Chains A and B, each alone.
Chain A
Amino acid sequence: MGPLVPDLIGNELNYVVALIIGIAFGFILEQAGFSTSKKLVGLFYGYDFTVLRVFFTAGVTAMIGVVALDHFGLLDVSLILINPTFLWSAIVGGIIMGLGFIIGGFCPGTSICGAAIGKIDAMIFIIGSFLGVLVFAEGYPLFENLYKAANWGNVRIFDTLGMSQSLFAFLLIITAAGAFWLVTYIEQKINGRPNPELQPARLYIGITAVAVIIAFSAFLMPDRKEHLLKRISDKQFVSAYSIKMMTADELAFRLIDEDRTIQIFDFRSQKEFDSLSLPSSIKYEPVNLFDKNIVKLMSVRRMKNIFIAEDEFSARKAAVLASELGYSEIYVLSGGMSQFKKDILGFKIPEGNPNRRMNDTDVFRVKAARLLPVLIKEYKSKQAPVEKKSSKRRLAGC
């Protein structure tokens, strides 16, 4: 599951990746004609809309890719860099950059491409951008308030607008297609002839139609996450699902034995977890099962993943979700923690027949009720309860 950094690709190798991606980036920008300011400002005077075409196509392509990878569970979007939103700073910065664009004829990425093929104006633009950054850095105390005002966090546009991701993606695709059509029309009016590069028109109408159909189909695809969460809310489905069980006695035995081949996923509330947590248990929410950092944890060889909750059914729900997500070696504590507490931790020899000889189970439970609380206490004092390991979202970089 992506992103591959830092688990599959180390931080050092990541620099090599950066170099390769950079080469592709620079190559494509130059091939598209972004190394000349004439083509870039054509966008603002209506004679050449190459920039809009390239930019919108690239943005939409990558956006669809991110949505699709997320949809099929191949990319953990909670780990990728979502540019943070600082409302006023974003607006003011954009306005200043727009002014810089129309005066300078480049933006930082395109000036680099221009300079690489020998454009002196692009090199001067780069020198200017160094100065601009320096001015900001030196005057930072003056700008800091504005820079840090209205921090909305790593919000995404569809949440801000209160619509679904697919609806926004759909609207964006339609907007792009509309813009492509409109700018071709404007270009034709201003230049007095159709753009010779973009013929035959039929081809483009065809491609647009395909894009629109794909956009429509986005509505029909249910989100995998929502779909799975809906499935496990179906009681019958969860009850009928085949899941391996583990009895309270077995779990107690393994704990006393300090079995290293088990790890416990605790799906109870934080409060319950804080008041009593079993050795080597980790607090989890069912939705955490979608996270990327759990992949490693759940795939340790010969490790039994034991799901516990206060009642058996809640743990079962999480276990069904985990097996639907493709994880194996999952066991559910039968009877839940409530039974574990009753049968093991608070075990009382059944009353009634005082002459009844204790059977093996009773002997074990008496022993367990004596040993386990010690282990639990020891474990708690030895180390702070294992916090759920969470990978951090990439921080802003540009």
Chain B
Amino acid sequence: MNKGNKYMNPYLAGFLLGLTLLTSIYITGRGLGASGAVKSTVVASVETVAPSHAGNAKFYKEYAEEHPGNPMKNWLVFEVIGAIAGAFISGLISNRLKFTLEKPSDIKTKTRIWGALIGGALFGFGAQFGRGCTSGAALSGMAVLSTGGLITMAAIFGSAYAFAYFFRKLWL
């Protein structure tokens, strides 16, 4: 594998990622995902902490109808557990395991924390409308040429480019 911190050639990584995605579609009939596992976790948490609320609110009821059984017994939850393990192994091999808050050098730690929190919240929120995130809607959608997936992909990257100028102080 790579020596030190060097990353894999992007085209090779893309090719391997594409094969993984294809394998997933061939074996299971579905592509990859990430935000679905976050959703399952939120539903499971709410059902545990406030069962009566989960029984009444429409979102949880609809979720339970579409996904009978334990919300954590979900394909994407297992897939994400695997992804954590896979990324950890990769970090171990390439010597990148380290607790650190990464940020551009002249940006305050507080700014980066708020940025990550707000960005995450927006992404989690938007992924509900998009019915998937960059992996579940955009990447997997592209593989099966889904109209909705490709629209979401265009919207994600288009919007990020459109807003990039206004948030350049966060990164440059």
Contacts and interface: CB of A to CB of B under 8 A. Distances in A.
Contacts of A35: 87, 91, 96
A141 interface: yes
Interface in B50-84: 57-60, 66, 73-76, 78-84
A30 B153 CA distance: 21
Contacts of A45: 164, 168, 171-172
Contacts of A58: 13-15, 17-18, 21, 139
Interface in A362-389: none
Nearest to A41: B171
Given A118-B91, A147-B129, A102 B57 contact: no
A14 interface: yes
Interface residues of A, number: 138
A44 B164 contact: yes
A33 B18 CA distance: 16
A133 B128 contact: yes
Given A23-B89, A396-B131, A54 B144 contact: no
Candidate in A31, A44, A118 with the most chain B CB atoms within 10 angstroms: A31
Nearest to A38: B102
Nearest to B126: A96
Contacts of B21: 58, 61-62
A53 B76 contact: no
Interface in A1-50: 2-5, 9, 14-33, 35-39, 41, 43-45, 50
A222 interface: no
Given A122-B116, A140-B57, A158-B145, A90 B155 contact: yes
A131 B128 CA distance: 12
A79 B30 CA distance: 9
B80 A22 contact: yes
Contacts of A94: 126, 130, 137, 151-156, 158-159
Given A94-B126, A137-B57, A398-B136, A32 B17 contact: yes
A398 B127 contact: yes
A390 to B, nearest CB: 14
Interface in A100-147: 100-122, 124-138, 140-141, 143-144, 146-147
A132 B26 CA distance: 32
Interface string A149-173: 0001011111110000100110010
Contacts of B161: 44, 98
Interface in A254-311: none
Interface stretch (A63-71, A223-231, A325-333, A352-360): A63-71
Contact of A53 (B14, B25, B129, B153): B14
A19 B82 contact: yes
B123 A84 contact: no
Contacts of A22: 78-86
Contacts of A147: 128-129
A186 interface: no
B126 A137 contact: no
Interface in A190-225: 197-198, 204, 207
A178 interface: no
Contacts of A74: 26
Contacts of B157: 98
Contact of A57 (B11, B98, B119, B153): B11
Interface of B: 1-2, 7-11, 13-36, 38-39, 41-43, 46, 57-60, 66, 73-76, 78-91, 94, 96-104, 112-113, 115-164, 167-168, 170-172
Given A43-B160, A98-B161, 16 more contacts: A5-B28, A18-B76, A21-B23, A29-B17, A45-B164, A45-B171, A61-B17, A75-B26, A79-B29, A90-B152, A96-B159, A100-B120, A130-B38, A132-B123, A140-B58, A152-B147
16 contacts: A2-B26, A26-B88, A27-B90, A41-B171, A57-B17, A74-B26, A94-B137, A100-B118, A112-B80, A116-B87, A118-B100, A127-B117, A128-B123, A136-B128, A180-B11, A398-B137
